[in-house]
Amino acid sequence: MKHIYRSLLTYVLLICIITPLYAETKDKDSVLELQQQIKNIQLEINQLQQTDNINNNEFTTYNANVVDNKPTIANELEKYIIKKNTVDIVQNISPENSIIDLKNEPVGGIFDTGGGINVGDAPAITTNGEAAYLGSYSGNNSIPIGMIPSKLFASTLILQKEKFDDYSVFLGGFIGIDAQTWFGDTIPRVGFDNKPTTPFSPTGQNIYLTSSKLFFVSNLGDYVTAEYDVSTSETNDFFIGNAFVIFGNMSVSPFFVTAGRSTLSVANLGGGGSSTGSIAGFLGTGRATNISLNYKTDIINASIAVFGSSDKKADFSAGLFYADSWTDSLAVGFNTGYVYDLDGAENFSIPRVAPNQTIGAFNVDTNIAYTIDSGIFQINSGWASTTQSFDFNGTGNNVLAGSWYVAGNYSANIFGKSTNFNATYGETYNAAAIPMAIAASPLQDGLSKSGIKRQLIFSAQRAYFDNNILFGPEWAYQIFYDGKSMNTLTLDVSVYL
């Protein structure tokens, strides 16, 4: 760094003497010689900067650069003001030709009008560890990497990469633990090969390590970011989740491309609790080895991906996410998505009942958030459906299967800790023969033989010790098409590293 500062100082001094030297001597040869010296110094500076970058590659954590866990009020306010006033200084000249002090301007409500959504400073609301409600529609969130919505994982990373050096490696982690007890009826079960197996026990209790993830992210210059994560659970099943590369730079273009195995940016299915997912999850998508073209602004994320459902069958998906604040107190989120064939999109329900069939899905989901005093009240609603008819009821008649849900949440900092209260209700239709995942005993191998007809969830979450440690009690009540039911009580623990 000393060489760089010395070279920069020399560079400035040479610039300062060019003009008077030229005016006094009028010596063309001297000016040309000085210009050549300046070019040589500039080349030396560039070489020193490149060497400095290579010799100072960083290995750090995602949270250390993106999430400020223990901010002071002054620091937090300063960051907030700077974020909201990145505008041309010419626009901030008063009638008296003086620069307006932006720090004396009001910062408005919780959400930035016209500037997109970032729930990093809001109380955390998660489902299965990932941000839910308004945060699940935005790719601007400054939250732990394990909390990033999987549907907008790449969109969030490409924005946050700017907080790290061009050649650096950063990591993060997530640990999910569920303590459960359940009671109800004996639930018939099928394996992932759709063959009957031993039923779910009507009663039981256990403590599960539901997820243990380690994320590795690396900036490979200005335009390339690579990410992969490894995961395991109590069953000791070790696997690689995402493994993909992002090509793009938001400071240059709003478009970017991803290539590799990643979660498809399609359906944002709400209506879940802290542990139990959406009742519409049987129409959801997961990861696929794909190539996607993405468009990102402060308020819009759009994605088109192509992948394969088999060695001989092409597949594609498309998704649109919108999140913005309409006033200082009102913010809205919206998502719609389409996938041509669920068979290649890591869907575990539809291919079980309709093997070798081309069955797609379409969804619409919306969220309204309104600030009330120091808290945020949110309403979420959505609908999803298959795009092709099939005998989803097992009656011999081809029908479209689908689901709808409504949810409400209130979140606030109560006694200095992030807290939220949640209630959701959802139903399915024409899904009697579709195997689905139940809330109880999440690590049991298999799905319910009969589809879930109704689902009611009450849950809450509160941060303890640190904002990156969330405890979430939940009660889930599920009624199946065959008349059986199950109650599941869960204490969900989410830890973000």
C-alpha dihedral sign at 447, 451, 457, 460: positive
pLDDT above 60 for 494: yes
Q: Can you state the percent helix, strand and coil of the chain, rounding each to 5?
A: 25, 45, 35
Average pLDDT, stretch 196-200?
87
146 and 31 within one domain: no
Q: What is the DSSP letter of 254?
A: S
Helix residue spans in 334-383 (DSSP H): 350-353
Residue 92 belongs to some domain of the structure: no
pLDDT above 60 for 161: yes
pLDDT above 50 for 157: yes
Q: Where on the phi/psi map is residue 490: left (φ > 0), alpha (ψ -120 to 50), or beta?
A: beta
Cβ 391 vs Cβ 397: under 8 Å: yes
How does 383-407 read in b/e, with b if 16+ C-beta sit within 10 Å?
Answer: bbbbbeebebbeeeeebebbbbbeb
357 and 277 within one domain: yes
The overall pTM is greater than 0.85: no
318 and 224 within one domain: yes
Encode pLDDT of 258-270 as tens digits: 999 999 999 999 9
Residue 229 belongs to some domain of the structure: yes
Take residue 66 and report the two structure tokens written for it.
Answer: 């993106």
**What is the total count of domains within the chain?**
2
Residue 77 belongs to some domain of the structure: no
126 and 50 within one domain: no
Residue 273 belongs to some domain of the structure: yes
Distance CA 494, CA 213 (A): 12
If DSSP codes are grouped into helix, strand and coil, which group holds residue 160? helix
Q: How confident is the model at residue 17, as a pLDDT? A: 54
Residue 8 belongs to some domain of the structure: yes
Work out whether strand 313-325 and strand 300-310 pair parallel, antiparallel, or are unpaired.
Answer: antiparallel
Please give the backbone phi and psi of residue 123, each rounded to the nearest 5 degrees, phi first: -60, 135
407 and 288 within one domain: yes
220 vs 313: which has the higher pLDDT? 220
Q: How confident is the model at residue 223, as a pLDDT? A: 94
125 and 49 within one domain: no
181 and 46 within one domain: no
Q: Which residues pair with 227 in a beta bridge?
A: 217, 244
Q: How confident is the model at residue 160, as a pLDDT? A: 87
pLDDT above 50 for 72: no
- Range list of β-strands (E), 185-220: 187-190, 196-200, 203-220
Distance CA 11, CA 14 (A): 5
If DSSP codes are grouped into helix, strand and coil, which group holds residue 494? strand
Residue 69 belongs to some domain of the structure: no
Encode pLDDT of 438-474 as tens digits: 998 766 667 999 999 999 999 999 999 888 999 999 9
Average pLDDT, stretch 3-13?
51
What CATH number is given to the structural domain containing 391?
2.40.160.10
Q: How confident is the model at residue 44, as a pLDDT? A: 72
152 and 42 within one domain: no
Q: Which residues pair with 182 in a beta bridge?
A: 204, 488
How does the average pLDDT of the chain come out, rounded?
Answer: 83
Distance CA 35, CA 27 (A): 13
CA dihedral 383, 270, 449, 265 (to 10 degrees): 80
Cβ 249 vs Cβ 193: under 8 Å: no
180 and 49 within one domain: no
199 vs 43: which has the higher pLDDT? 199
Residue 250 belongs to some domain of the structure: yes
38 and 182 within one domain: no
If DSSP codes are grouped into helix, strand and coil, which group holds residue 374? coil
Average pLDDT, stretch 53-58?
52
| Percentage with pLDDT > 90 across the chain | 61
Q: Which of 39, 56, 73 is the last residue of a domain?
A: 56
If DSSP codes are grouped into helix, strand and coil, which group holds residue 55? helix
| Percentage with pLDDT > 70 across the chain | 79
Distance CA 492, CA 472 (A): 5
492 and 412 within one domain: yes
Encode pLDDT of 95-125 as tens digits: 443 333 333 333 333 455 446 899 988 999 9
Q: How confident is the model at residue 96, as a pLDDT? A: 41
Residue 88 belongs to some domain of the structure: no
- Where does the pLDDT of residue 76 fall: very low under 50, low under 70, confident under 90, or very high at 90 and above? very low
194 and 314 within one domain: yes
pLDDT above 50 for 496: yes
Q: How confident is the model at residue 197, as a pLDDT? A: 85
If DSSP codes are grouped into helix, strand and coil, which group holds residue 208? strand
Take residue 153 and report the two structure tokens written for it.
Answer: 């994982």
Q: Which of 32, 56, 80 is the last residue of a domain?
A: 56
Q: How confident is the model at residue 52, as a pLDDT? A: 55
Average pLDDT, stretch 59-85?
47
Take residue 414 and report the two structure tokens written for it.
Answer: 């109560």
Domain that holds residue 254: 119-496
Q: Which of 16, 37, 56 is the last residue of a domain?
A: 56
CA dihedral 146, 300, 285, 338 (to 10 degrees): 180
